[in-house]
Each structure stands twice: as C-alpha cells, then as structure tokens.
Amino acid sequence: MPRELLLQVTPEIAANELLLKDYLSKQIKVSPQEIQHVSILKRSIDARQKAIKINLKVFIYLKGEPFQESKIELPVYKDVSKAQEVIVVGAGPAGLFAALQLVELGLKPIVIERGKDVRGRRRDLKAINREHIVNEDSNYCFGEGGAGTYSDGKLYTRSKKRGDVTRILELLVAFGASEDILVEAHPHIGTNKLPKIIEDIRNKIIEFGGQVLFDTRVTDILLKNNEVEGIVTQNGDTILANKLILATGHSARDIFELLDKKKIFIEAKPFALGVRAEHSQQLIDSIQYSCDYRGEHLPPAPYSIVKQVNGRGMYSFCMCPGGVIAPCATSPGEVVTNGWSPSKRDQATANSGIVIELKLEDFKPFAKFGALAGMEFQKSIEQKAWHLAGRTQKVPAQRMIDFTQNKVSADIPKTSYVPGITSVEMGQVFPGFLSQILREGFKEFGKSMRGYLTNEAILHAPESRTSSPVRIPRDPITYEHLQIKGLYPCGEGAGYAGGIISAAIDGEKCALMIAETLK
C-alpha cells in the first residue's frame, strides 16, 4: 500500500522531483533510493506568510510495492449514426459535452453551431482586433468551443458535486489536457491549448456517428401543441427532432428575443457588471507573494477579492494572471471586455473583471422589455461605451485613481487590449449608483491589497457578459422546459451554469435526462 502524506514544502522542492524524493525520504525515514515513485494527488499554494509554501498531498510507493502508471481512458462510445436524433444548438462546453454524453448513451446528436470551426474562428478574432469588424456569428463568444475557447481556460467551479467535476476534468485529460488539471487547486488550460482539445472532442462525436454543422444559425424553433418538432436555420432549412438541447450561451440575444416573441416562458435574471482592471503582473506578484521577484518556481499570482460596498457585492471575476484583455462584442455598435491567458500565463500584465452584483430592480428603466429588461440594460451600457470611445472596438479607459477622483486621465499607456483605448471619464458609462459603488469599492480594495489602488492600473469598460441576463426556466428534476415539451434549456445562457466546467456538467445532465425519458 502506498503511504499517503500531507506536507508543506518550499516552491523549489515542490518543483523538483529529486529534491522532493529527498525531502520525503527524510520524513518517512528511508533512503531516497528506496522510493520508487511519488504521485502528487493535490497541489495548492499557501501565500499567507512571507515564506510561501506549497501544500502537497502525495502517495509514496516504496521499492517492491505494486505501482502502475495510470492512464485516463475515454469511455466506450457506440456507433450512433442510426440512433434516435437529438438536436443540440450551440457548440460551447454545454453543447459539446451534451453531445459527447448523448453518444455515450447511444443517441445521435446533431450539433448546430452558428459560428465557424475552432480554427476558422481565428480570422474573425483578428478582424475584431485589427480592423474593428465584428462578425455576428463568429467572434470571442460565438463559434466552435463557445465563449470558453479563447479564454484562460480556468477550470475551477463552485459546483459542489466533486464526482461530476472530476469526470469533466478526466474527459479533458483524455482529450489531451495536461494531467496537472487533476491535481492543481486552481487548474487552467490556456488559450493556446484549448482549440486542439475542442477539435478532438468534435472529431470523436463525428467518428461515432454524430453530426456537427458549422455556419448554421438557428432562427426558429418548430412547435406543435407546445412540443418541439425541430428547428429552422438561417437558410430556411429545417431539421426535425422532438428533443432539443438549447445551449446557446449568455450572448445569444436573438435566441432570447425569439423565445420572447414565441411567448416561450423566460424571465429576467440578475447578473454582474463593471470594468476590467489591468495591472502589471509583477505588481500583483509583489502584492500576493510579498516579494519583489516571484522567482522561477511560483506561477504568476492570481487574486480574488470580494467587498460589500453600499450594500452590494463587488468582486473580482475571471481573473487572468499573465493574460490579455479581449474584445468580446457579438454585434457591431457595442464594446465588451473579458480576458484570456496562454497556458504559461507569461504575459506581462494581469487583468480581472471587477464587477458589482445587480438586482432586478436596477432594470426598471427597461421594464417595458419584460423578461428582456436585463438584456436591454446590458446592451445600453455596451452601446454607450462604444459611442464614448469613438464608435470602433476601442474601449473607454481610465487610470484607477483618476477614476476614484472623477478625473479624466491626461495620458494612458498602451494596454494589452489590442483594438486600443480612449481616455474617458468612466463614470459616464454606468448609471450613477454603479459608478459610485465602483469608486468606493476600488478604495476598499486598496485597503485589503496594499498597492492595488494605483494610477498604474488601467480600467477598461465595460465587463458586462458575466452571466446570462435571462433565465429559461426548466423543471429541476427532468430539466425539461416548464412549458415546452422536448425543450432542454442548458448551460450558461439558460441560467444554469457559470463557467466552462459547470456548463459542461449541465450539458451532460441534460443529455442524461433525455436518455432517461426515452427509456
């Protein structure tokens, strides 16, 4: 039996197999040569003290003890080309993992995606960054892999069901992600690695008889007596099936409008909104690790911060160490920010959404839009920012202290946001009460993280696609829409996920529920 040990070591020891074996041999009083293998089961950083430690949970195998390198395998898939068809709209994490699960369960997914395949998408991202052209079907939110593709690929989730989380992480490993994601307390994949994994997932779905259609936008849902019959695409083609997983994400405004127009029950949902702040990574390292230089054994430091300001939660969201701010608009005439990092997180800048929780009452000025009030509120801010910054993909920007003092920044250095920035008094982007909370909040953040409140930090606006502004209500047990039979609202856009992992889990659950009803 291997010995299990919990220990705290220096970053240097944790990063070096020989040093670790040496350290462990002293702990368990054997010679280093007697240790056959050390498996790391969990790894996290403890940066509470000046001397930073790495927490490890390990299994130690001594010579002679049975040990075999375990390899994570894919489930056994069956050929589903002739099986019952299920339409899956959206090839984000929710849609792709729903489709994979359907194949595993012996059902044939027909995945319909408005955007391009993961490689083809790249040209459109370049066009947003360089030419300020937003393709409404292919951008940072739309296209194969969904909003998560060109992201940091952070894989942590608030989901409590560890079994479900582990299953998704293991599937990602089986599709090529590093095994480190099974061990790290805060795993991430990185923008450069995600596309290949997504491509391999798609190829597996097709290999076993599923179908994946790109450049195909769903424009209508066919119904008869409140039951799904199929969908209509932008070319007027119809695809018929009476089970439909709707996994179109938080930015599919045309889908929310379609459901509203068809009087399919949806409801406004609070979300969070604010700005994206960028510091130098070195500054964040020095704050988080209490040092001038983090050295070669520590990763670029993340941060996470929450404050109550004027009765509202204000918090960091989707923090990207060593990352870049991305233009995430999905229509011309609006600007939106978010962030990504490559797997090494080796960019010189650190960015994070800093957002305030909204309440349904904040959407009152848009009450005439009914269930779409939150979406219209969100849209109005994105459009206002677009006007203020010069009607391109440039975004309004301001130095952090200038913002807290209501002062337009005289000069702003170049930031990682490629389309560019326009110096603006950021308060104009948001309703007065939100600007006030943000101003107060940044001062509070500066008290908790000394050095955070600095004029070297640049704010970009808005960070507005934090979660869906609409919920598509479904039965909590069967996952079927409350009114429409055969319709399975799924993932972040329906209001049941907030991130890659939870969206993937929700996708699998919807597939399982469909298989259950078909039994």
Ligand X SMILES: Cc1cc2nc3c(=O)[nH]c(=O)nc-3n(C[C@H](O)[C@H](O)[C@H](O)COP(=O)(O)OP(=O)(O)OC[C@H]3O[C@@H](n4cnc5c(N)ncnc54)[C@H](O)[C@@H]3O)c2cc1C
Q: Residues interacting with ligand X, by CB under 6 A? A: 89-95, 112-115, 140-143, 146-148, 150-154, 217-218, 247-249, 252, 254-255, 318, 326, 328, 338, 340, 491-493, 497, 499-500, 503
In the complex with ligand X, the residue whose CB is nearer, 9 or 500, is: 500
Closest contact distance (angstroms) between CB of 464 and ligand X is 11
Give the whole-angstrom CA distance, residue 305 versus residue 313.
10
* Enclosing H/E stretch for 512: helix 500-518
Closest contact distance (angstroms) between CB of 168 and ligand X is 11
Burial-class residue 236 by CB neighbours within 10 Å (0-12, 13-18, 19+): exposed
Q: Which residue has the tokens 């099986």?
A: 83
Closest contact distance (angstroms) between CB of 157 and ligand X is 7
Burial-class residue 285 by CB neighbours within 10 Å (0-12, 13-18, 19+): buried
Closest contact distance (angstroms) between CB of 146 and ligand X is 2
In the complex with ligand X, the residue whose CB is nearer, 11 or 495, is: 495
Q: Which residues pair with 268 in a beta bridge?
A: 470
Task: Please give the distance of CA 313 from its chain centroid, rounded to a whole number.
Answer: 20
In the complex with ligand X, the residue whose CB is nearer, 349 or 435, is: 349
Q: 102, 230, 157, 199: which is closest to 492 by C-alpha?
A: 157
Closest contact distance (angstroms) between CB of 220 and ligand X is 10
In the complex with ligand X, the residue whose CB is nearer, 52 or 239, is: 239
Closest contact distance (angstroms) between CB of 460 and ligand X is 13
In the complex with ligand X, the residue whose CB is nearer, 23 or 175, is: 175
149 Cβ contact list (under 8 Å, min separation 6): 118, 121, 143, 191, 194, 195, 198
Instruction: Find the distance separating the first CA and the last CA of the chain, reported in whole Å.
Output: 42
Task: Please give the distance of CA 108 from its chain centroid, rounded to a whole number.
Answer: 27
In the complex with ligand X, the residue whose CB is nearer, 124 or 492, is: 492
What is the DSSP secondary-structure string of 254-276?
HHHHHHHHTT---EE---EEEEE
Closest contact distance (angstroms) between CB of 451 and ligand X is 25
Closest contact distance (angstroms) between CB of 300 and ligand X is 14
What is the DSSP secondary-structure string of 289-336?
HSSS---SSSPPP----EEEETTEEEEEEEEETT-EEEE--SSTT---
In this structure, what is the dihedral angle of CA atoms 339, 447, 430, 353, given to the nearest 10 degrees? 10
The residue count for the chain: 519
In the complex with ligand X, the residue whose CB is nearer, 148 or 230, is: 148
In the complex with ligand X, the residue whose CB is nearer, 146 or 396, is: 146
In the complex with ligand X, the residue whose CB is nearer, 223 or 453, is: 223
Give the whole-angstrom CA distance, residue 166 versus residue 313.
30
Closest contact distance (angstroms) between CB of 79 and ligand X is 26
